[in-house]
Amino acid sequence: MNGKQLLLKALKERKVRFLFGYTGGAIMPVFDEMERMGAFEFVMARHEQGAAFMAQGLSRASLSTPTPQIGVCLTTSGPGAMNLVTGVADAHMDSVPMLAITGQVATGVIATDAFQESDVVGVMMPICKQTYMPLAAEDVEKTVHEACYVATTGRGGPVIIDLPKDIQNQQAGEDYRFDAKKFRPHLPGYFYTPTPEREPIRQAIELINKSERPLIFCGHGVINSNAGDLLQRFIEKTNIPVASTFHGLSAIPADHPQHLGMMGMHGTVEANRAIMEADLLIALGMRFDDRVTGKLDEYARNAAVIHVEIDASEIDKNVRTTVAINADVYRTLHVLLGDPMLTCIPRRRWWDKLNSFREVMKEDLREEIEVGIGNDNKLLMKGIIHRLSEVTRGRDLIIPDVGQHQMMCARFYNYQTNNSWFGSGGAGTMGCSLPMAIGVKLARPKERVWSISGDGGFQMNFQELGTIMEKQIDVKIIILNNGYLGMVRQWQTFFFDGCFAGTPMQSPDFGLISQAYGIPYRKVELLEDVVPALEEAIACKGAMVLEFICDPAEVILPMIPAGGGFGDMIIRHPHAPKKDQSKQGEAA
């Protein structure tokens, strides 16, 4: 067998079904072999970045199914590989397992600036978990197995295989043998410790039992280790409140009485105030990102911290821990739940306090959602998302893009299904939604999938409507069109004296665009049409585009200014506040 056959054989053995990609000179041999084999479903993206996000969607959505799959993308060298960069960096920030296979120029011309040569390994090294360049056909198979192993174990991440064209065609030697079942990668420097140690568990339980105001953080690690159910049992058993990170959403039902919602920059008042007041934080699978903590020296000053995290390098990185548990969240919760020392304390005063925090914005938000319209009778995004949540009973899969609408989706959709929320968090990559939704739908074909974008982000990757058209992928597409790069406009409102530099945007006729791709479309401008339009999309067999005309002045609150502390939380719209010029730089 030759390199390309060994590559595809190994992917097959890894249970890969879908290949997302785009062909070109340096990967043609692999494409040719793939077509002849007929063993994969090839999904052609319209841009390599799209392929990377499709692969992410597949990895992320399938991890909670009985058949987890790793998303694989396949592109040519040079420009093809470089177009993957944003999607790979995004997967790295969000710990998403993914395998990117890029063709490379032949070994004989590497480092001569050959046609379509880029130093893929050099470019990708700092933005992925591992890079490989097999230099013999005999190395290809074991590289694929090792790459998949590294991508999917411990803290997940993207892995790159840069495969020179001559190696794709090279024959393996006569006596080449490889047994995937017996293969164990030789990685003396790769450690991850899924099982928690006894001593920190004992210390953690001691802290939990004596805490008066404990708070649990549900991070991405809860989703990634499939620990949602266990977490729910744990909070019910201990009566401890829980707040979610952006990526922790949907691990437990959003309206669970002990759930305080999302924490951080656009988190709920109750989650953020709880953090300020807590005497113990139990952080499960999260990394204390700056969007979560705000100003570090003011963060949770009174709290002891138990940090459960599979990646040892995250422990003590931003926040000092009292007890560190370097382990898998699922296994840790399992051990904690089984420990008879763990007690349940009513903590009524703590709950009274939390319930009072819940009241701070409740009425304002309820009213805004009910009224559903803002300036010039234009729709409010939060009203639309709330109605979507009601119509779908919170059960559907939601893929937001990046911006105000994303935060509206995080806050106002009532997630009921485990692992039903897929966004770009760490990188915040506009344009992620549409391609990611394609991957999600392929992973979970029986569930309803909503791609929700702003007018800005939609235009970053809407070429992927081509893939939706060609593959007849049933994704319901919502564009929340406020005529602005809304999130940036919000910052301009708060911190730049309302000077809207580079944020107003003219958009094309999204109806004509949908029509060009043969996808049904409806534009919604009136509140009474919102629910019928959502119902129409649900009834529609296959994809549909809904465009909602939204109020550009709507803001997502509360908001903690970047670099600010929780005490700086903005709760009410300041109505174009006059700010001291000299402070502008600081605020941004």
Partner 1 sequence: MKRRAILAFTLDHPGVLNKISMLIRKKMYNVDTLTVCRARIPGVSRMTITLRESDQARVDQVVRQLEKFTEVISVKELDTDHSYWREVAIIKLEIDASVLETFQGRYNFEILEQKSDDIHILQVAGSTRRIDAFLDEVGQEHIVEIARTGVTAMEK
> Which positions lie near ligand TPP, rule CB under 6 A?
401-405, 428-430, 454-457, 480, 482, 484-488
Q: Yes or no: say if 308 and 325 are a contact pair by the CB < 8 Å rule.
A: yes
Here's the x/- map for Mg ion, 387-426, by CB under 5 A: it reads as ----------------------------------------
3-state secondary structure 101-166: EEEECCHHHCCCCCCCCCCHHHHHHHHCCEEECCCCHHHHHHHHHHHHHHHHCCCCCEEEEEEEHH
The one-character DSSP state at 426 is S
Which residues, including other chains, have CB under 8 Å from residue 202's CB and lie 6 or more apart?
Answer: 341
Q: Which is nearer to ligand TPP, 14 or 247 (CB)?
A: 247
Q: Yes or no: say if 243 and 278 are a contact pair by the CB < 8 Å rule.
A: no
Of the candidate residues 130, 245, 389, 418, the single one contacting partner 1 (CB under 8 A): 130
Backbone φ and ψ of 551, nearest 5° = -75, 115
CB of residue 194 to partner 1, shortest distance in Å = 16
Whole-angstrom CA distances from 294 to 187, 267, 375, 566, 579 are 37, 11, 31, 7, 21
492 makes contact with Mg ion (CB under 5 A): no
Residue 371 binds which entry of partner 1, ligand TPP, Mg ion, none, CB below 5-8 Å type-dependent: none
317 makes contact with partner 1 (CB under 8 A): yes
Tell me, yes or no, if 494 is annotated catalytic: no
Radius of gyration (C-alpha) of the chain in whole angstroms: 24
3-state secondary structure 461-519: HHHHHHHHHHHCCCEEEEEEECCECHHHHHHHHHHCCCCCCCCECCCCCHHHHHHHCCC
Scanning 70-78, 189-197, 220-228, 519-527 for contacts with partner 1 by CB under 8 A, the matching segment is 189-197
316 makes contact with partner 1 (CB under 8 A): yes
CB of residue 487 to Mg ion, shortest distance in Å = 8
CB of residue 296 to partner 1, shortest distance in Å = 12
As given in the structure block, the two tokens for residue 176 are: 């080449």
Of the candidate residues 131, 211, 420, 433, the single one contacting partner 1 (CB under 8 A): 131
Q: Which is nearer to partner 1, 146 or 401 (CB)?
A: 146
119 makes contact with partner 1 (CB under 8 A): no
Tell me, yes or no, if 363 is annotated catalytic: no
Here's the x/- map for partner 1, 318-347, by CB under 8 A: it reads as --x---------------------------
CB of residue 52 to ligand TPP, shortest distance in Å = 13
Residue 317 binds which entry of ligand TPP, Mg ion, partner 1, none, CB below 5-8 Å type-dependent: partner 1
Q: Which is nearer to partner 1, 299 or 458 (CB)?
A: 299
Tell me, yes or no, if 487 is annotated catalytic: yes
187 makes contact with partner 1 (CB under 8 A): yes
Of the candidate residues 36, 79, 115, 122, the single one contacting partner 1 (CB under 8 A): 122
Residue 402 binds which entry of ligand TPP, Mg ion, partner 1, none, CB below 5-8 Å type-dependent: ligand TPP
Q: Which is nearer to ligand TPP, 276 or 587 (CB)?
A: 587
Q: Which is nearer to partner 1, 89 or 315 (CB)?
A: 315
Residue 66 binds which entry of partner 1, Mg ion, ligand TPP, none, CB below 5-8 Å type-dependent: none
Q: Yes or no: say if 452 and 480 are a contact pair by the CB < 8 Å rule.
A: yes
Residues 427-466 that bind Mg ion (CB under 5 A): 454-456
The whole-angstrom separation of Cα 119 and Cα 48 is 17
DSSP string across 215-255: EEEE-HHHHHTT-HHHHHHHHHHHT--EEE-GGGTTSS-TT
CB of residue 360 to ligand TPP, shortest distance in Å = 24
Q: Determine the distance from the C-alpha atom of residue 588 to the mean position of all C-alpha atoms in its chain, rounded to a whole number.
A: 24
Which residues, including other chains, have CB under 8 Å from residue 348's CB and lie 6 or more apart?
Answer: none
190 makes contact with partner 1 (CB under 8 A): yes
Q: Which is nearer to partner 1, 178 or 190 (CB)?
A: 190
Q: Yes or no: say if 510 and 521 are a contact pair by the CB < 8 Å rule.
A: yes
482 makes contact with Mg ion (CB under 5 A): yes
Q: Which is nearer to Mg ion, 94 or 455 (CB)?
A: 455
- From the list 33, 48, 117, 464, the catalytic residue is 48
Query: What are the b/e assignments for 469-507, b being 16+ CB within 10 Å?
Result: bebebebbbbbbbbbbbbbbbbbbbbbbeeeeeebebee
Residue 244 binds which entry of Mg ion, partner 1, ligand TPP, none, CB below 5-8 Å type-dependent: none
Whole-angstrom CA distances from 546 to 481, 525, 526 are 10, 11, 13
Q: Yes or no: say if 163 and 3 are a contact pair by the CB < 8 Å rule.
A: yes
Q: Which is nearer to ligand TPP, 418 or 459 (CB)?
A: 459
Give the Cα-Cα-Cα angle 43, 133, 61 (nearest 5 degrees).
35
Torsion of CA 206, 281, 215, 94, to 10 degrees: -130
Q: Yes or no: say if 344 and 237 are a contact pair by the CB < 8 Å rule.
A: yes
Residue 430 binds which entry of Mg ion, partner 1, ligand TPP, none, CB below 5-8 Å type-dependent: ligand TPP
- From the list 129, 165, 382, 441, the catalytic residue is 165
Residue of 192, 225, 180 lying closest to 15 (CA atoms) = 180
Query: Hey, which residues are catalytic here?
Result: 48, 115-116, 165, 487
Residues at the interface with Mg ion (CB under 5 A): 454-456, 482, 486
Residues at the interface with partner 1 (CB under 8 A): 121-122, 125-126, 129-131, 150, 187-191, 311-313, 315-317, 320
